[in-house]
């Protein structure tokens, strides 16, 4: 048997649920099918609960929209008749309960964790009910009866042994397709409804696969597989064919949201392979994750990142050579349930930097200042503060171990693009190099690293064209004509991300439309000036960018120095800089 998990977008609409039906019904072996809530519903349930608790009447309409979305989906899936009526009836029972809970929250103006967990559980309860009525020979199960959690460090942790036993008992006999709501669970002592955390349906599926020794765990989602980077940030990212468990774990632990991090361990433990598939393009092979290390392939398999992190540095000359400082740092943080995802300490031992999520930063400083109060008072250690607004990027690959020069290339690439590295860490396992940059440089960092480490199908060049007279206008017309040919024949994507004349300026990270730019500039452009141009180009902070000066303006030529020092290349048809005073030229 196999376990298949379908995410929110895969069960988000009538068409996609019909696709899921086709995929499940054509499976060659019995399947346990784990489903998420309809796409967006988990967020909407949380929002509606928050509105009700805040006394905002809008919660009623928000609830009504949730109810309409589910009823509409059923109506689109099943023709009028007994089946549809019976499903709508069961659906309405759940929705009525949910409405009562929202009303209760509104009246009492209180939203405890227990209530919030109850509210959010309806997403998966509703979706699994719907899917089980659509798939031939399917039976619906209640995951709260066999996925059991216990409270540890203020977090609901799965009781693995108990859960495995209950899963085995529940699925001693299998229907053709067993539909299971993902994400939801219950406390093993109190029976209260809990959940496995956002994105937790993947984890539900992995737990079941491991308990039943499934042949494979299939994660069906809305992308072609595990990609070299988040495709929403890197347009040239592509699908990775094969990953080892370690690589997959490193990548998803670091923000590649395609798989929820705790998912890998249970199946890794049982050596059950994972395949990531695209529900909307089932013919695509996807990504295969197993214990197999792909020898001889690229050193770097993927890049991932975490935004919104803070760096906390414990430093002071009083730390040098003192035993137990790090022990105290980690003990204090662990006692307060704070997870640390990056550590960097220089061999001089006079500072230790740790990366935490920004939501944990204030508490981290508080507990560390308390822990080291005595040393701070005597000046041995500096008062501990957090530097926020940062992001961490990780490059991952098991073959880095055998390839010298990766770190050199990485930091060289960042340096050449004017990106400052604030902290970095590489473990001796050499499967991951992580570094911290300003959050504003994250997108650029990901792009330049992707560009230098991966042979993408194409490379991107981002142009700012200033001046649209005879020279600039012809240049833009030529680029427009050649864009497609350059992409197809030379793998070069020429992206014009900014156009300006003396009056107006227009910018767009994803590229401007060269067929309509004159009208767009008039209608949507902002007032143009050399300062506006410089500030906006720097604010956009785009990788591989070139400023093309097609003006005859001394003021525009005066921008080159700033642009060059910010790693923006300059191409000038404007002769002024090169033919005026030698000092300007220099």
* Closest distance to ligand ASP from the beta carbon of 263 (Å): 10
Which of ligand ASP, Mg ion, ligand ADP, none binds 227 (CB below 5-8 Å, type-dependent)?
ligand ADP
Distance, CA of 566 to CA of 253 (rounded, Å) = 32
Q: Select from 22-30, 143-151, 196-204, 332-340 the region that touches Mg ion (CB under 5 A).
A: 196-204
Are 208 and 214 within 8 A, CB to CB?
yes
Q: Select from 199-207, 364-372, 511-519, 533-541 the region that touches ligand ASP (CB under 6 A).
A: 199-207
Query: Which residues sit at the interface with ligand ADP, rule CB under 6 A?
Result: 7-10, 36, 199, 221-223, 226-227, 229-232, 256-258, 302, 304
Burial code (b: 16+ CB inside 10 Å, e: under 16) for 173-210 equals eebebbbbbbbbbbbbeeebbbbbeebbbbbbbbbbbb
Is residue 199 close enough to count as binding Mg ion by CB under 5 A?
yes
Site for Mg ion in 505-564 (CB under 5 A): none
For ligand ASP, the binding residue among 68, 109, 152, 198 (CB under 6 A) is 198
Instruction: Using the minimum distance from each CB to Mg ion, give the nearer residue, 275 or 493.
Output: 275
Burial tier of 162 (Cβ tally within 10 Å: 0-12, 13-18, 19+): middle
Is residue 194 close enough to count as binding ligand ASP by CB under 6 A?
no
Reduced to 3 states (helix: H, G, I; strand: E, B; else coil), residue 101 is helix
Instruction: Using the minimum distance from each CB to Mg ion, give the nearer residue, 138 or 196.
Output: 196
Binding mask 13-42 for ligand ASP (x = CB under 6 A): -----------------------xx----x
Are 302 and 228 within 8 A, CB to CB?
yes
Structure tokens at 325: 């400082």
Is residue 62 close enough to count as binding ligand ASP by CB under 6 A?
no
How many residues does this entry show for the chain? Answer: 586
Q: What secondary structure does DSSP assign to 376-418, as a single string?
A: HHHTSSPPP-EEEEEEEEEEE-GGGGG-TTHHHHHHHHHHHTT
Site for ligand ASP in 123-142 (CB under 6 A): 123
Instruction: Using the minimum distance from each CB to ligand ADP, give the nearer residue, 2 or 450.
Output: 450
Look-up: residue for tokens 């649920």?
Answer: 17
Instruction: Using the minimum distance from each CB to ligand ADP, give the nearer residue, 225 or 498.
Output: 225
Which of ligand ADP, ligand ASP, Mg ion, none binds 258 (CB below 5-8 Å, type-dependent)?
ligand ADP
Distance, CA of 474 to CA of 85 (rounded, Å) = 65
Binding mask 435-474 for ligand ASP (x = CB under 6 A): ----------------------------------------
CB atoms closer than 10 angstroms to residue 358: 15
The stretches of 270-387 forming alpha helices (DSSP H) are 325-335, 358-371, 373-378
The stretches of 26-177 forming alpha helices (DSSP H) are 41-53, 59-77, 82-108, 113-134, 160-170
* Closest distance to ligand ASP from the beta carbon of 70 (Å): 14
Instruction: Using the minimum distance from each CB to ligand ADP, give the nearer residue, 253 or 574.
Output: 253
Look-up: residue for tokens 């895969």?
Answer: 10
> Computed from CA positions of residues 373, 376, 380, 385, in that sequence, does the dihedral angle turn out positive or negative?
positive
Is residue 316 close enough to count as binding Mg ion by CB under 5 A?
no
Which of Mg ion, ligand ADP, ligand ASP, none binds 448 (CB below 5-8 Å, type-dependent)?
none
Is residue 200 close enough to count as binding ligand ASP by CB under 6 A?
yes
Is residue 12 close enough to count as binding Mg ion by CB under 5 A?
no
Distance of CA 447 to the CA centre of its chain: 15
Which of ligand ADP, ligand ASP, Mg ion, none binds 12 (CB below 5-8 Å, type-dependent)?
none
* Closest distance to ligand ASP from the beta carbon of 195 (Å): 8
Q: Which residues bind Mg ion (CB under 5 A)?
A: 7, 199
Q: Which residues bind ligand ASP (CB under 6 A)?
A: 7-8, 36-37, 42, 123, 182-183, 198-202
């Amino acid at each position: 048997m196999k376990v298949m998990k379908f995410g929110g977008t895969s069960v988000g609409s009538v068409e996609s649920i019909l696709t899921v039906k086709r995929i499940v019904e054509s499976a060659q072996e019995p399947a346990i099918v784990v489903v998420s809530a309809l796409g967006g519903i988990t967020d909407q349930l949380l929002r509606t609960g928050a509105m009700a608790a805040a006394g905002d009447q809008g919660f009623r309409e928000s609830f009504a929209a949730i109810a309409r979305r589910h009823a509409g989906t059923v109506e689109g899936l099943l023709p009028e008749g007994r089946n549809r009526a019976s499903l709508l009836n069961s659906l309405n029972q759940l929705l009525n309960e949910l409405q009562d809970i929202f009303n209760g929250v509104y009246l009492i103006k209180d939203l405890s964790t227990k209530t919030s967990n109850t509210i959010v559980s309806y997403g998966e309860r509703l979706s699994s009910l719907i899917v089980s009525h659509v798939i031939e020979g399917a039976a619906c199960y209640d995951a709260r009866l066999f996925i059991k959690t216990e409270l540890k460090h203020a977090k609901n942790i799965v009781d693995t042994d108990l859960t495995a036993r209950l899963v085995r008992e529940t699925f001693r006999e299998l229907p053709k397709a067993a539909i299971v709501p993902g994400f939801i669970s219950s406390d093993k002592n109190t029976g209260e409804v809990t959940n496995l955390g956002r994105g937790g349906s993947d984890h539900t599926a992995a737990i079941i696969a491991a308990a039943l020794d499934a042949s494979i765990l299939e994660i069906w989602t809305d992308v072609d597989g595990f990609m070299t980077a988040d495709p929403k940030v890197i347009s040239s990212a592509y699908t990775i064919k094969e990953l080892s468990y370690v690589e997959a774990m490193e990548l998803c632990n670091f923000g590649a949201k395609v798989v929820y991090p705790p998912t890998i361990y249970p199946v890794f433990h049982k050596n059950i392979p994972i395949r990531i598939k695209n529900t909307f393009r089932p013919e695509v092979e996807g990504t295969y994750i197993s214990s197999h290390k792909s020898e001889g392939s690229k050193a770097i398999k993927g890049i991932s990142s975490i935004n919104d992190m803070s760096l906390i540095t414990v430093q002071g000359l009083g730390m040098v050579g003192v035993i137990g400082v790090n022990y105290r740092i980690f003990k204090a943080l662990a006692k307060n349930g704070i997870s640390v995802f990056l550590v960097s300490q220089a061999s001089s031992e006079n500072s230790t930097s740790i990366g935490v999520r920004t939501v944990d930063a204030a508490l981290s400083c508080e507990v560390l200042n308390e822990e080291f109060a005595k040393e701070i008072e005597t000046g041995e250690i500096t008062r501990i503060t957090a530097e926020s607004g940062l992001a961490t990027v990780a490059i991952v690959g098991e073959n880095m171990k055998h390839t010298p020069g990766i770190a050199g290339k990485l930091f060289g690439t960042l340096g050449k693009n004017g990106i400052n590295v604030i902290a970095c860490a590489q473990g001796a396992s050499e499967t991951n190099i992580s570094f911290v940059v300003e959050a504003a440089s994250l997108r650029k960092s990901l792009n330049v690293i992707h560009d230098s480490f991966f042979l993408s199908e194409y490379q991107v060049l981002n142009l700012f064209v200033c001046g649209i007279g005879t020279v600039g206008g012809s240049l833009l017309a030529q680029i427009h004509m050649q864009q497609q040919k350059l992409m197809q024949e030379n793998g070069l994507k020429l992206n014009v991300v900014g156009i300006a004349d003396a009056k107006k300026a227009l910018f767009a990270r994803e590229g401007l439309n060269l067929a309509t730019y004159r009208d767009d500039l008039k209608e949507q452009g902002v007032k143009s000036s050399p300062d506006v141009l410089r500030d906006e180009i720097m604010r956009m902070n785009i990788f591989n960018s070139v400023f093309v000066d097609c003006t005859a303006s001394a003021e525009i030529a005066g921008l080159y120095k700033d642009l060059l020092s910010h790693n923006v290349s300059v191409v000038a048809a404007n002769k002024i800089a090169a033919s005026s005073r030698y000092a300007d030229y220099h």
